[in-house]
C-alpha cells in the first residue's frame, strides 16, 4: 500500500510537471506568434522603428529600423526637460523660478496648459505639464527662459544631442510640433532616455507622475502604460500625423532595467500593445548586473551662450508654418533622400556603445594642410557634416580623413561655405568619385564605421 501511495504521488507530480511544461510552451508559442504578427504589421508600416536597450549593460536586445530617420513629435520634450534638469542641477534656476509666457509661447497649438501672454508658472509646474499633458506652450516658455529664443534654444538642444552621442538628431523647436527640419532616430531617443535616467536621478521620478493638479484641473499623464505594466516608470509619448504614435518607455523590475522606443505606431493602442510585447519579451533577457555609466555626462555650453553644433549631414529645410497634414509627403521625401545611399545593417547583437561612441580624437595633422574650397568640384561627392564654425568643419574633415584613411585613400577632402538664412555654414565633403555607384558604395563603407554621410551630385 505504501508503494502504491508513493507511485500515485509521483504520477501526480509528473502530471503537474507535464501540464506546467505544456503551459510554458503554449505561452512561449503565443508570445512568439504575437511578436511575429507585430513584426509583419510593422514591416508594412514605413514609419515604424523600434529598439530595446538593456539599461544595465547597454546591450541592444531588439532593433528594427533603429538608425532610420524619423520625426520625433513630442519626444522632443525629453531634450527640453534634459536641459531644464541640467539648469536646475547647475543652479541657474530653481523649481520655484517663474517661467514667463510670451505672446509666442501662449499662441502655441494644443495640447497646451493655456497660460495667457504675460502670465507665468513655476519651473516645477512647467515640468509637470510637459510630462503629463505634453504642453506645447510650457515647452516654448521654458525654451525662451533658458535659451533667450526658440532658435537659440533649438541650437542648444542639437548641441546637447551631439554631446550625448545622438549623431542623427536635429532639433528645430522645443515641443515637437511639425517642422520638416527636425528629425531623430529610435536609437538616439534610447540614448536620451538612458541619459535622463543616469544623469538626473534626483529629477527622473517626475516621469512617473500619473497626474497633477493645476488650478481646478486634474491633468492625467498621456503615458497609459504607467500603472498598467509592472515596472514602467516613464518616459514620454508623442504624436503628430507626420510621425505616427511614438513612445519611449523605461522599465525597472528591481534588478533588470530596459529602455524601449517605438515610433510610427498606427494608433496609441497599437503602439502601447507593441511596447508591452517588447517589455514582456526582452525584460527577462536583460542583465541583473549593473555596469558603468552608458552615456557620457555632457556639460555642454552655458545657458547664456549660443550653442554651435556640428549640423546634420544634409542641409536642413526652411521651417514651414503649414499644417502638418501638408508636410506628410515632405517628411517622407526627406527620409527618402537622406537614406537613399543605403540602410545601415541592424543586428540583434549590435551594442549601444556604437551609438554612444565618443567622437574620434582630433588628429595631429595640421589643420592648415587640409583643403578648403570656394567652388566645388563637379561630379559625385560625399558629405559627412556641415557646421556654422569653419574650425569645427575643418576639424571634422581632419578626423574623418584619419579615421577612414583606407576608405578615402583616393578621395579628396575639402570644406566649402554656403549661405542659409543669412548664416554662413561650412560643408565637409569628399570628392573624386567616378560615378553615383562609387560614391554610394564608399558612403556605405563609411557608415559601417559609424560615420554618417550621404552622396550628392554637384
Per-residue pLDDT of the chain (458 residues; tens, 9 = 90+): 444 544 554 455 545 555 555 555 554 555 555 555 555 555 567 899 999 999 999 999 999 999 999 999 999 999 999 999 999 999 999 999 999 999 999 999 999 999 999 999 999 999 999 999 999 999 999 999 999 999 999 999 999 999 999 999 999 999 999 998 999 999 999 999 999 999 999 999 999 999 999 999 999 999 999 999 999 999 999 999 899 999 999 999 999 999 999 999 999 999 999 999 999 999 999 999 888 788 877 554 333 332 333 333 343 332 333 333 223 333 333 333 332 333 332 322 233 223 322 333 333 333 333 444 445 777 899 998 887 777 778 888 888 888 898 899 888 899 988 877 667 888 899 998 888 899 999 998 998 888 888 888 87
Q: What pLDDT is attached to residue 454?
A: 85
Domain boundary among 267, 285, 303: 285
Per the annotation, the verdict on 77 as an active-site residue is: yes
pLDDT above 90: percentage of residues in the chain: 55
8 and 86 assigned to the same domain: no
Buried-exposed string 33-54: b where 16+ CB fall within 10 A, e elsewhere: ebbeebeeebeeeebbbbbbbb
- List the grid coordinates of 256: 533588470
Q: What pLDDT is attached to residue 311?
A: 35
Q: How far apart (Å, rounded) are the C-alpha atoms in residues 114 and 155?
A: 26
Phi/psi for 382 (5° steps) reads: -115, 130
39 and 63 assigned to the same domain: no
39 and 77 assigned to the same domain: no
242 and 254 assigned to the same domain: yes
CATH code (residue 125): 3.40.710.10
Domain boundary among 234, 254, 285: 285
In a domain, 406, yes or no: yes
Which contacts qualify for 165-169: CB closer than 8 Å, 24 or more apart?
Answer: 165/191, 165/295, 165/296, 165/355, 165/356, 165/357, 165/358, 166/191, 166/192, 167/355, 167/450, 167/452, 168/67, 168/69, 168/312, 168/452, 169/72
Which residues have C-beta within 8 Å of that of residue 9, sequence separation ≥ 6?
A: none
161 and 273 assigned to the same domain: yes
Q: What pLDDT is attached to residue 38?
A: 53
236 is in an annotated binding site: yes
65 and 7 assigned to the same domain: no
260 and 370 assigned to the same domain: no
The active-site residue out of 59, 63, 74, 447 is: 74
10 and 54 assigned to the same domain: no
The active-site residue out of 77, 112, 160, 396 is: 77
Which pTM was predicted?
Answer: 0.61
Per the annotation, the verdict on 134 as an active-site residue is: yes
The active-site residue out of 129, 134, 249, 250 is: 134
129 and 34 assigned to the same domain: no
226 and 119 assigned to the same domain: yes
Q: Which structural domain, as residue segments, surrounds residue 404?
A: 359-457
Which residues have C-beta within 8 Å of that of residue 84, sequence separation ≥ 6?
A: 93, 123, 126, 127, 142, 146
C-beta separation of 134 from 74 below 8 A:
yes
Q: How far apart (Å, rounded) are the C-alpha atoms in residues 10 and 408?
A: 71
Q: How far is CA 328 from CA 104, 186, 240, in A?
A: 25, 19, 10
Nearest-10 Cα torsion for 135, 140, 144, 149: 170
In a domain, 177, yes or no: yes
Q: Dihedral of CA 288/235/240/38: which sign?
A: positive
Q: How far apart (Å, rounded) are the C-alpha atoms in residues 83 and 153?
A: 9
52 and 17 assigned to the same domain: no
Q: Dihedral of CA 338/342/348/354: which sign?
A: negative
Q: How far is CA 342 from CA 131, 332, 443, in A?
A: 36, 16, 9
- Render pLDDT for 180-227 as a digit per residue (tens, 0 to 9): 899 999 999 999 999 999 999 999 999 999 999 999 999 999 999 999
Domain count of the fold of the chain:
3
- Render pLDDT for 137-187 as a digit per residue (tens, 0 to 9): 999 999 999 999 999 999 999 999 999 999 999 999 999 999 989 999 999
Q: How far is CA 49 from CA 231, 243, 319, 393, in A?
A: 23, 11, 24, 31
Q: Dihedral of CA 433/435/441/446: which sign?
A: positive
Closest CA to 210 of 198, 195, 189, 225: 225
165 and 110 assigned to the same domain: yes
Q: Residue 420: how many CA atoms within 13 Å on its side-chain side?
A: 15
Burial of 23 (0-12, 13-18, 19+ CB in 10 A): exposed
Amino acid at each position: 500500500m505504501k508503494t502504491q501511495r508513493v507511485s500515485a504521488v509521483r504520477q501526480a507530480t509528473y502530471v503537474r510537471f507535464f501540464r506546467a511544461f505544456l503551459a510554458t510552451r503554449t505561452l512561449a508559442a503565443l508570445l512568439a506568434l504575437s511578436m511575429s504578427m507585430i513584426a509583419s504589421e510593422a514591416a508594412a508600416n514605413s514609419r515604424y522603428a523600434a529598439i530595446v536597450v538593456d539599461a544595465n549593460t547597454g546591450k541592444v536586445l531588439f532593433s528594427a529600423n533603429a538608425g532610420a530617420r524619423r520625426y520625433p513629435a513630442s519626444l522632443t520634450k525629453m531634450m527640453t526637460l534634459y536641459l531644464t534638469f541640467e539648469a536646475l542641477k547647475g543652479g541657474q534656476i530653481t523649481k520655484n523660478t517663474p517661467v514667463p509666457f510670451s505672446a509666442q509661447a501662449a499662441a502655441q497649438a494644443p495640447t497646451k496648459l493655456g497660460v495667457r501672454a504675460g502670465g507665468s508658472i513655476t519651473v516645477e509646474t512647467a515640468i509637470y505639464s510637459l510630462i503629463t499633458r505634453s504642453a506645447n506652450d510650457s515647452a516654448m516658455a521654458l525654451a525662451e527662459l533658458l535659451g533667450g529664443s526658440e532658435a537659440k534654444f533649438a541650437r542648444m538642444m542639437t548641441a546637447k544631442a551631439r554631446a550625448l552621442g545622438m549623431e542623427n538628431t536635429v532639433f528645430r523647436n522645443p515641443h515637437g510640433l511639425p517642422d520638416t527640419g527636425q528629425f531623430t532616430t529610435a536609437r538616439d531617443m534610447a540614448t536620451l532616455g538612458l541619459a535622463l535616467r543616469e544623469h538626473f536621478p534626483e529629477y527622473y521620478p517626475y516621469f512617473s507622475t500619473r497626474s497633477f493638479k493645476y488650478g481646478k484641473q486634474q491633468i492625467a499623464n498621456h503615458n497609459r502604460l504607467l500603472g498598467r505594466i509592472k515596472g514602467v516608470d516613464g518616459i514620454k509619448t508623442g504624436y503628430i500625423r507626420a510621425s505616427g504614435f511614438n513612445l519611449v518607455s523605461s522599465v525597472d523590475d528591481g534588478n533588470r532595467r530596459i529602455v524601449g522606443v517605438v515610433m510610427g505606431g498606427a494608433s496609441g493602442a497599437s503602439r502601447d500593445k507593441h511596447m508591452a510585447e517588447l517589455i514582456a519579451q526582452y525584460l527577462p533577457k536583460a542583465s541583473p548586473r549593473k555596469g558603468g555609466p552608458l552615456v557620457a555626462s555632457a556639460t555642454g555650453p552655458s545657458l547664456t551662450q549660443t550653442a554651435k553644433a556640428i549640423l546634420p549631414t544634409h542641409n536642413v529645410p526652411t521651417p514651414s508654418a503649414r499644417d502638418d497634414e501638408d508636410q506628410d509627403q515632405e517628411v517622407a521625401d526627406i527620409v527618402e533622400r537622406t537614406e537613399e545611399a543605403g540602410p545601415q545593417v541592424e543586428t540583434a547583437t549590435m551594442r549601444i556603445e556604437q551609438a554612444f561612441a565618443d567622437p574620434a580624437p582630433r588628429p595631429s595633422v595640421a589643420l592648415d594642410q587640409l583643403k578648403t574650397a570656394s567652388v566645388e568640384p563637379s561630379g559625385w561627392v560625399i558629405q559627412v557634416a556641415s557646421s556654422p564654425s569653419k574650425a569645427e568643419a575643418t576639424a571634422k574633415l581632419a578626423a574623418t580623413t584619419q579615421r577612414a584613411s583606407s576608405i578615402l585613400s583616393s578621395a579628396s577632402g575639402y570644406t566649402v561655405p554656403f549661405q542659409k538664412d543669412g548664416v554662413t555654414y561650412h560643408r565637409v565633403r569628399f570628392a573624386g568619385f567616378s560615378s553615383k555607384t562609387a560614391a554610394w558604395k564608399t558612403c556605405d563603407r563609411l557608415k559601417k564605421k559609424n560615420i554618417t554621410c550621404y552622396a550628392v551630385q554637384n
